[in-house]
Each structure stands twice: as C-alpha cells, then as structure tokens.
Amino acid sequence: MNTEAKLTKYVRASGCAAKLNPGSLGEATCRLESFHKDLIVAFEGNEDAGVYKVTDDVAMVQTIDFITPVVDDPFVYGQIAAANSLSDVFAMGAEAKTALNVVGFDGKHHDSEILAEILRGGADKAAECGAVIVGGHTIETPEMLYGLSATGFIHPEKVLRNNGIREGDHILLTKPLGMGILITAIKADLLPKEVVLRVAENLKTLNLKASRIAVACNAHGCTDVTGFGFLGHLGEMSAGNFTIKVHADQVPYFPEATEMAAMGIIPAGSYANRDFLKANDRVAFRKALTPEMEMILFDAQTSGGLLISGTPEDVAEMEKRCKEEGLAAAVIGEVVKKEEADLVVC
Amino acid sequence: MRIDCKDLACPEPVLKTKTALEGLPDDAILEIELNSVSSIENCTRFGENQGCTVQKKALEDGTTLLTLVKGYGCAIVESEKEGLVNKTFFFKSDQIGEGELGKKLLFGFLKAALELDSLPKTIIFVNTGVKVTTLEENQPAIDSLLELEKRGVEVYSCGLCLGELGIDPSLVKVGKVGNAFDTMQTLVGSDVVSL
C-alpha cells in the first residue's frame, strides 16, 4: 500500500467518525418534510437513501455520502469512499447504475496526481458493481473529502426499509466491527502493515453481494452500519416498535480493535454514539461486557456491513450464502416484543 | 511535566500523552490538560493501560487535568478536604442487618449522616449494596447520598456487582461506578467502617 501521501494526517477526524452527532442531525432534519405522490422514501425513518417511483415497475434510489481520508493510500481511499457511498444504494436492496464524484480537495497538502488516484479508486469500485461515473464536482477545501452521489434502481414494491423488521426475525451483520477505532489507529500509525491491509480490505468490500443475498432470501428490513455505530443503526431498525436482543458474543469484530480501544484510541464520534443512546435510555446492558467491547458496539463505522432482518430460516440461508462469498457474516440478534429499551445487549 | 492537549481531536491527545510518558523516568508525574469527553476518557484508558495511577480533577476554567503517575510511584494523597475524615463506609448489602428493619435503618442512618460534623471521605456499595444507588425503592437513601456527594463525599457502586445483578450502569443515580482495584486501594488507604 502506498502510504506516502499521508492523507489521514491532514484531517481532524477520519471517515464516518467525522459525522455530525445523531442528536444534532435529528434536530436539524426533523423540520424538513417532502411530499410528492411518487416519493416512496424521504426524510422520515433515517433511511439510507431517497426513493422515487418513476413508473409502476421502476423506482429510482438516490443517495450521497462523502468521507475524509481513512487510509493514506489515495487509490485505496478512493475505493473505500466509493464503497461507503454505494452501500446506501445496496442497503435499500437496489442495483447501482450511475454516480457523480463529490470532491473537496486539499490542494495545499496534496498535488493533482493524488486526486487522479482517488478518482481512479472510485471508478474502480463503481465498475465492480456495474455502475458508471457520469461526472462530478470538485472544490478546494482545507480538509480532503471524497464520495459519490449514487443512483440505483429497484422495483417500487421491493424497497428494503430500515424499519421493515418483524417480531421473531433474526438479524444478520455482514462485516466485522471495529473500523472507527482501527481507522483512528491508522491515523496514529499504531497498526502493523498487515493489519492495515486487512482493515482496508474490509472497508473496500462492496455490500453488493450481501444486498443481492438479502433480496434473494426475502429480507424484511435492511440498513448499513456507518457513523452511528452498530447499536445506533440497530436502534433505527427498532424504530421504537420492537426490542432487538443483541447477542454480544456473536458479534464479529476485529480483535485488534480491543487492544486499540484499551489504549484509548477511540474516535469522539463513538463516544457521541454511546452518550446519545445511553442518555435516551435506548439501550440496556443485561450482561457485563468489557469496556472495550462496549465501545466496539458503539464504534462509528465507515463502510460497515449490512444489517439484514428476516425469518430465522431465511437469515440462516443468508448467513450460509454470505459465508460462501467470503463475507464474515453472523446472526447477531433477534426481534422481540417491545420492552422498555429498544436494544437489549445480552 | 505538564502538557496541553485541549482542542485536539482523537488520537492526538493520546499520542502526545504517549510521547511525553515515554520520555519520563519511572515515578514521574505527567499532567495533561484536556477539554473533551472523548479525550479525557481516552487518556484515562491509555494511562491505566500503561500501568499508571490516573487521577482526574476539574479546573475552574472548565479544563480537566489528568494526573498520571508513571510506574510504581505512590498515588498522590490529596490534601484533606474540609469536614472530611479519612474513613470509608463500606455497604455490602441493600440494608443494614436483616428483615424489615434493615431498610429503615439504612435510610435513617444515611439521613443522620447528614448531621455529622465530619463526614467519611468515601462510601462504597458492593454486592446487593449497589441496589441502594440504582433502584427507585431506595430513593430516600439516594437523596441523602446526593446531599453527601455535594459536600464532597465520594460515592462508588461496584461495577462488577452491577453486571452480575443485571443492573445497567447507567441506572446509577449517585456517584460513580468503581472497579475492584480502586475499591481495594480505598479500603487499604483509609479506616473502614463496614455496614
């Protein structure tokens, strides 16, 4: 991996850990409303993408996401940022078709060669899922940022919502956790090269296959794990309608994240996620976890996996198929009748 | 040595702490000025992870000062706060003695403690004692404890005990969640009154 460009050294926070905290975002967007007879998904329910019905058979899925550098190699950063942006299309169960580059370029610290590499990385990931980059927009910014505004298509009746979960469902997670902590450790140059490569590989893995498996196996609900962390996004799935029981010992994560968390290499975004969920009594811990494991469950993820709900049989089939595709997927919880807290970790 | 890590984003404060600590001899003291929740927690974790004794102090201007004692240096003994004596009240259950009277005694005792001229420095709740600081049924005790805390008494509930009893640490309504190490350190370093 080419780490000469030191992309992560010139930004304050890396990846989705730089996201505005969930409380502030909710306060700002709760006043926004959009109505149109063909608008299927908009602001409500913290969805991953907007969905607009074009014809009775075709709906357009639109999303935008951009992140600050999470690795120092510009090509790999481009790949990761694109995978992270496209994930919102996949989280709706859709196929990505076109995308626009969104770039804030820090020309003070980097030359245009770096920009070319980032864009090449983005195009590479778009091509991998059959999408094409059709243009973009670049401005100079003090901190580097890159992502895609992606468009996908889906049958209007097959949209996978965050809150489509039903009582008795099992929930599958398709990528291991710990990315926020490990990206911060990369920024601090604390990880051996071999671990950085494994982290980067996980980050740039598209959620395309996981999404197709979810669709093929009759998923009820789906979202991707990003800045609000594993528990934060599970909370959105619960939407206060059900309680989700999380089996902490089944949750896949990078073991190196435990070590880094114990050293205090935890991004502020992860603490913000914890404080938001705890302050609102959204989560109850019925089992004593190590402080490190608890922070991993709250950790702000970049390009995280999908959380997919379905009947226990369907989810077992999804897990099997994901594993056949080389994804470290695991059944991490189940949906039960609403209890006091939206999430119960046991 | 004192370093300023205010207004820095993670992982900067930890890295600066690491560099400073590495350059210091054993038993040296490192003071870190911090001003965000994440940096305070992260530097505390780092210090403990490195085997340091970590103490936290809020300064008047809103800054938090962390004091790390490197290696096996003795913990710094803070000057005695006014009206506090170096005693620890150690509660091992959610009542004092058996039966119905036990709960009444607990409430009455804590209320009476408010009238004392000199207060214990620390009150520790372990085993079912952690119910006292968490459950609504013990609100009279919690009220007394909140008042005691205002007067400088440190109140701790055993973290392990909360976990074993299935009580979420966020339910602790007064004081802090303590760990076994701190508890033992307090018990060794003060006169203990077991209740």
pLDDT in tens, B167-184: 988 889 998 888 877 778
Residue A296 and residue A333: Cα distance in Å, rounded? 16
> Measuring CA to CA, how many Å separate B156 from each of A117, A271, B182, B187?
54, 22, 10, 12
Closest residue in A to B164 (Cα–Cα) = A288
Mean pLDDT of the A71-89 span: 97
Identify whether the C-beta of residue A221 lies closer than 8 Å to the C-beta of residue A163.
yes
Say yes or no for a CB contact (<8 Å) between A266 and B44. Answer: no
Say yes or no for a CB contact (<8 Å) between B14 and A281. Answer: no
Chain B closest-CA separation from residue A269 CA (Å): 9
Mean pLDDT of the A151-176 span: 96
Identify whether the C-beta of residue A133 lies closer than 8 Å to the C-beta of residue A14.
no
Q: Which of A10, A14, A266, A270 to mutate to test the interface with B (most CBs of B within 10 A)?
A: A266
Measured between beta carbons, the chain A residues lying within 8 angstroms of B15 are: 188
In this complex, is the C-beta atom of A54 within 8 Å of any C-beta atom belonging to chain B?
no
Identify whether the C-beta of residue A285 lies closer than 8 Å to the C-beta of residue A345.
yes
H-helix segments, B68-179 = 99-113, 130-134, 139-150, 159-164
pLDDT in tens, A43-69: 776 788 999 999 999 999 999 999 999
Say yes or no for a CB contact (<8 Å) between B9 and A12. Answer: yes
In this complex, is the C-beta atom of A129 within 8 Å of any C-beta atom belonging to chain B?
no
In this complex, is the C-beta atom of B107 within 8 Å of any C-beta atom belonging to chain A?
no
Mean pLDDT of the A309-330 span: 98
Q: How many CB atoms lie within 10 A of CB A218?
A: 13
Residue A1: predicted pLDDT: 80
pLDDT in tens, A294-307: 999 999 999 999 99
- Give me the phi and psi of A46, to 5 degrees please: 45, 45
pLDDT in tens, A185-220: 999 999 999 999 999 999 999 999 999 999 999 999
pTM for this structure? 0.74
Residue A332 and residue A317: Cα distance in Å, rounded? 14
Residue B151 and residue B115: Cα distance in Å, rounded? 12
Residue B116 and residue A243: Cα distance in Å, rounded? 47
Residue A223 and residue A240: Cα distance in Å, rounded? 16
Say yes or no for a CB contact (<8 Å) between B36 and A268. Answer: yes
Mean pLDDT of the B64-91 span: 73
> If we measure between CA atoms, which residue out of A233, A34, A2, A203 comes closest to residue A117?
A2
Say yes or no for a CB contact (<8 Å) between B41 and A187. Answer: no
H-helix segments, chain A = 22-29, 74-91, 112-128, 179-187, 193-204, 208-216, 229-238, 255-262, 268-279, 291-298, 312-324
**Number of helices and strands (H, E) in chain B?**
7, 9
**Does the pLDDT value for residue B74 go beyond 60?**
no
Closest residue in B to A285 (Cα–Cα) = B168
For residue A67, the 8-state DSSP code is: E
**Does the pLDDT value for residue B10 go beyond 90?**
no
In this complex, is the C-beta atom of B52 within 8 Å of any C-beta atom belonging to chain A?
no
Residue A178 and residue A260: Cα distance in Å, rounded? 10
Residue B105: predicted pLDDT: 86
**Does the pLDDT value for residue B58 go beyond 80?**
yes
Confidence of residue B150 (pLDDT cuts 50, 70, 90): confident
Q: List the beta bridge partners of residue B91.
A: B125
- Maximum pairwise Cα distance, chain B: 59
% of chain A residues with pLDDT over 90: 86
In this complex, is the C-beta atom of A9 within 8 Å of any C-beta atom belonging to chain B?
no
Chain A closest-CA separation from residue B152 CA (Å): 25
In this complex, is the C-beta atom of B169 within 8 Å of any C-beta atom belonging to chain A?
yes
Residue type, B119: L
Would you give the distance in Å from CA A135 to the centre of its chain? 24
DSSP string, A102-143: EEEE-TTT--HHHHHHHHHHHHHHHHHTT-EEEEEEEEE-SS
Residue B163: predicted pLDDT: 87
Residue A27 in tokens? 């306060």
- Maximum pairwise Cα distance, chain A: 55
In this complex, is the C-beta atom of A139 within 8 Å of any C-beta atom belonging to chain B?
no
Cβ-Cβ pairs closer than 8 A, A with B, add up to 66
Residue B78: predicted pLDDT: 47
Mean pLDDT of the A18-41 span: 80
Residue B72: predicted pLDDT: 61
Q: What is the ipTM of this complex?
A: 0.77
